[in-house]
Amino acid sequence: MSLVDPIMGPGCGCDDADLLHGLLSVDAALDVLTGLARPVSESEPLAIGAARGRVLAEPLCACGPAPAFDNSAMDGYAINTSDLVGDGPWMMAVTDRILAGDGRARSLRRGTAMRILTGAPLPDGADAVVMQETVRRDGNRITLRKRPAPGAHIRRVGEDMGAGDVVLPDGQRLGPREIAVAAAAGADELRVRRPVRAAILVTGDELRTPDSGPGRGRIPDVNSPMLRAALNEPSVRIIATETGQDSLTGLADQLGRFAGSADIVITTGGISVGAADFVKPAFELAGGRIAFSGVAIKPGKPVSAGHLERAVWLGLPGNPLAAFTIWEIFGKPLMARLAGARRAPSRRRHVVTASAIRHRPGRCEARLASLVGCDGMGREVVTASGQTHSGRVGGLPDADGLVLLPAEAETLAAGSLLEFLPFETD
């Protein structure tokens, strides 16, 4: 198997044992989520300098050619190569100096040169620029020892983009590279989709929040700050972060209120089968439709999703590592879809294991992993944690991503080829 060969089968192999119990595979669940999400349709104009992280609402076309005129790519001398008769060296008089931004019309006289700086417009009659390092200058004369090719060191009008060219498509997320293209295309402002409105509802009577203070039996609320950090980007606006009510009707009222104003409602906890797990019945009581509940993955098996009024619901597990893992695998592509971003290639890539890995068959397992270099074939090598503990987050800062262990595998030998989902760096 080469590095570009796909790993055959349904994604990471999670279509096996647990699917007999009605659980979806990872990739099947992702397809369902994609079908649930409706990209935001409203848009707004935004100054180009403020558009980083937003998503284009319409294609961007170049306002004119770029470059707008023939100009020099180097500091040097503009010449006409037809003046270089014989074998050389050639001597020429320097008649003028052209600076970048100088808009005056210039014409090159036969047998002469003009001093020209990078970005300055090429004078009429010139067909090459000679780099200043390759000539000798004595007063107002230069000596050339090597004949340049016609067109050397000239940026031709429109060679980067032509007037009317589509330079960025609808759905393009705008980063520094795209902003550079938009500026070169002559755009001062861009029409972008409005931010996705997100509401976060964290359940668990045991959670300690800044408002609740310490108490016996309470544990820190990890998921609220983690999700707020994950959603802290220009294409998202968090409209609410609340702790779930401790009654079925109260929770249903919260979900219904969020659904009326949010594009996505994210809950954590309360989606298993315990007596105190009210989120799914509350969601249905509020009028929601559950699309799936349970995915053949570890950690995060109870992950659920559905639709309530205009909002998509994503139900994450309560254990913080499970919530983080499910957010990485499901939440990020779901948010990209809601933001209107065009479908990007999967971030998953192939790696090989540094040592043998044992795994309990039945579900695809997403295990924390670190990149440790490359093998003799140039393939990336990872080490994976020995076990996955859904409530432990201490290992997250040292991990580079998640390695996906196939559901059917019990032992993976050193050098096994696996899928790896890298964490995005801030």
232-254: pLDDT as tens digits: 999 999 999 999 987 899 999 99
d(CA 331, CA 228): 13
Nearest to 224 by CA among 202, 255, 199: 202
Residue in the block written with tokens 């315990």:
274
76-134: pLDDT as tens digits: 999 999 999 999 899 999 999 999 999 999 999 999 999 999 999 999 999 999 999 99
Tell me the pLDDT band of 18, cut-offs 50, 70 and 90: low
> What mean pLDDT is predicted for residues 358-384?
96
Residue in the block written with tokens 């409706």:
38
pLDDT above 90 (res 298): yes
Tell me the pLDDT band of 426, cut-offs 50, 70 and 90: low
Tell me, what amino acid is at 19? L
Tell me, what amino acid is at 75? D
For residue 352 the two structure tokens come to 């090989």
What mean pLDDT is reported for the chain? 91
Q: Give yes or no for a contact between 169 and 340, defined as CB atoms under 8 angstroms apart.
A: no
For residue 190 the two structure tokens come to 């861009």
pTM value is: 0.87
Q: Give yes or no for a contact between 126 and 70, defined as CB atoms under 8 angstroms apart.
A: no
pLDDT above 60 (res 379): yes
Number of C-beta neighbours around residue 17 at 10 A: 14
> What mean pLDDT is predicted for residues 258-287?
89
CA 257 to chain centre: 31
> What mean pLDDT is predicted for residues 167-183?
97
Distance spanning both ends of the chain, measured CA to CA? 33
Q: In terms of CATH architecture, what is 349-419? A: Beta Barrel (2.40)
For residue 302 the two structure tokens come to 């109870």
pLDDT reported for residue 388: 87
Which of the listed CATH numbers 1.10.390.10, 3.30.465.10, 3.90.105.10, 3.40.50.300 matches domain 47-66+159-192? 3.90.105.10
| Sheet hosting strand 311-316, strand order edge to edge | 236-243, 196-202, 264-268, 311-316, 304-308, 289-293
Domain boundaries, the chain: 17-40+195-338, 47-66+159-192, 71-155, 349-419
264 phi and psi angles, rounded to 5 deg: -145, 135
Tell me the pLDDT band of 1, cut-offs 50, 70 and 90: very low
Pairing, β 349-353 against β 380-384: parallel
d(CA 188, CA 49): 8
pLDDT above 70 (res 214): no
Q: Could you tell me what percent of the chain has a pLDDT over 70?
A: 91
How many alpha carbons fall within 13 Å on the CB side of residue 356? 4
> What mean pLDDT is predicted for residues 12-41?
78
3-state SS string for the chain: CCCCCCCCCCCCCCCCHHHHHCCECHHHHHHHHHHHCCCCCCEEEEEHHHCCCCEECCCEECCCCECCCCEECCCEEEECHHHCCCCCCEEEEEEEEECCCCCCCCECCCCEEEEECCCCECCECCCEEEEHHHEEEECCEEEECCCCCCCCCEECCCCCECCCCEEECCCCECCHHHHHHHHHCCCCEEEEECCEEEEEEECCCCEECCCCCCCCCCEECCHHHHHHHHCCCCCEEEEEEEECCCCHHHHHHHHHHHHCCCCEEEEECCCCCCCCCCHHHHHHHCCCEEEEECECEECCCCCEEEEECCEEEEEECCCHHHHHHHHHHHHHHHHHHHCCCCCCCCCCEEEEECCCEECCCCCEEEEEEEEEEECCCCCEEEEECCCCCCCCCCCHHHCCEEEEECCCCCEECCCCEEEEEECCCC
Give residues with Cβ within 8 angstroms of 307, minimum separation 6: 36, 288, 289, 291, 313
pLDDT reported for residue 312: 98
Domain 71-155 fold is: Molybdopterin biosynthesis moeA protein; domain 3 (2.170.190)
For residue 249 the two structure tokens come to 């009707």
CATH of domain 17-40+195-338: 3.40.980.10
Q: Give yes or no for a contact between 235 and 55, defined as CB atoms under 8 angstroms apart.
A: yes
